[in-house]
Chains A and B, each alone.
Chain A
Amino acid sequence: MTQVADTSQAAPVDTVDLRREFEAVDIAPVLEQLDRELIGLVPVKTRIREIASLLLVERIRQKMGLATTFPTLHMSFSGNPGTGKTTVAMRMAGILHRLGFVRRGHVISVTRDDLVGQYIGHTAPKTKEVLKKAMGGVLFIDEAYYLYRPENERDYGQEAIEILLQIMESQREDLVVILAGYHDRMEKFFQSNPGFRSRIAHHIDFPDYSEGELLSIADLMLEAQNYRFTPEARDAFKKYIMARKTQPLFANARSIRNALDRIRLRQANRLVSRLDRVLTSEDVMSIEAADVLASRVFAQQEEGRARP
């Protein structure tokens, strides 16, 4: 076994069986799982597919004795609230680990507080500490634009940014940095830090979910918690999504999750209100139309219509 591996490494080859290589790196299950568990998000999936293909090609190039360079994998996720930025970032570490781009595959999730100090000389050790912990994995900086506060010229955020940029450049093999935040504010952040934009290879936009996708997300969430909609309830929830989308502060999947939490409360209340009966597991699992329709969202919609 080992001898075969040795000879293949020693002598550069001219031809490579692509399918066998593809199966050897074992990325197909990773991509399938991603498709299954994340609804929508086409740009994100496309990019992950591209990165996976790059890994494959780099491996083949290595076998052929061609020059290989470690790709820059730092990413920036931008999109509206609740479009899955944090969820994907958490997944990304696992994916990159299985693809062999990061050695350990853990995520260190930080915000401004963890990087920027409170007094002179406090920031550098703090940032370096965090970076050391993230080595071999993914450093996820949520709401990255808070790092930079242009209105305060004595802000220590700039210092943290400089250290971050330096490590992002010099230790690309050891660490992948993912920034995330709302689209317009990220745009402003990159404008004031051009160095950041150029050091990040992958700028990925998270689109808003369509109504159909939101419904599938709701189904997935319920399934994970061992609940299910009755057919009428599912129709009612479709209407709920349409109504909720037109209202202010709509946060995509996050709003759906909150709505489901409230629906579960109402379902529990409905079950408890009639004590003198025997419940089946079916009763406890199913959510009925009445649980959905009792939502305040419908009342507000009516109100909106009554008011000219």
Chain B
Amino acid sequence: MRVTQGCFSFLPDLTDEQISAQVQYCLQKGWAVNIEFTDDPHPRNTYWEMWGLPMFDLRDAAGVMRELADCRRVYGDRYIRICGFDASHGWESVRISFIVNRPKEEPGFRLDRQEAVGRNTRYTTRSYAADRPEGSRYEG
């Protein structure tokens, strides 16, 4: 099941050229761009690991694309996303975030139903991938 989080996730995967154009847009808006990765695709997992520090004061997307290539080399089997952070007053938050790399196989989610007091039912989504220990979830 294809994970859909952030911008463009209902489109086909972006090519490097398209990613570069999006990053350039962020830089021209004056946003700090950073690269994050994770192997836990649960939608409530908002804190992904950061690849290096956020990149400030860049003018051209080539620097970010190089970092992305490095990150893919190490964590190519995980989800990687690029975020653009707007530090200007009143925003001070992530303006854009999109997935740029995903595992080959995405096993999807299981829905757990828990029968609670009375006739209540509690629902939980659980990623099949997360059943395996962290770091070896997408080794196939």
Contact = CB atoms under 8 A, between A and B. Distances in A.
Interface of A: 103-104, 106, 125, 131-133, 135-137, 171, 174-175
A274 B57 CA distance: 52
A171 B59 contact: no
Q: Is the interface of B mostly helix, strand, loop or mixed?
A: mixed
Contacts of B59: 104, 106, 133, 135-137
Nearest to B28: A104
B60 interface: yes
Contacts of A175: 62
B72 to A, nearest CB: 16
Contacts of B55: 132
Report the 8 A-B pairs with minimum CB-CB distance, sorted nearest first: A136-B60, A132-B63, A174-B62, A135-B62, A135-B63, A135-B60, A104-B59, A136-B59
B66 A103 contact: no
Nearest to A125: B52
B19 interface: no
A32 to B, nearest CB: 28
Contacts of A171: 62, 66
B73 to A, nearest CB: 14
A104 B61 CA distance: 10
Interface of B: 52, 55, 57-64, 66-67
A136 B62 CA distance: 7
A136 B23 CA distance: 13
Of the candidates B60, B64, B67, the one having the most CB atoms from chain A within 10 angstroms of its own CB is B60
Nearest to B63: A132
A131 B60 contact: no
A133 B58 CA distance: 5
Nearest to B60: A136
A136 B64 CA distance: 12
A103 B52 CA distance: 25
24 contacts: A103-B60, A104-B59, A104-B60, A106-B59, A131-B63, A132-B55, A132-B63, A132-B64, A132-B67, A133-B58, A133-B63, A135-B58, A135-B59, A135-B60, A135-B62, A135-B66, A136-B60, A136-B61, A136-B62, A137-B59, A137-B60, A171-B62, A171-B66, A174-B62
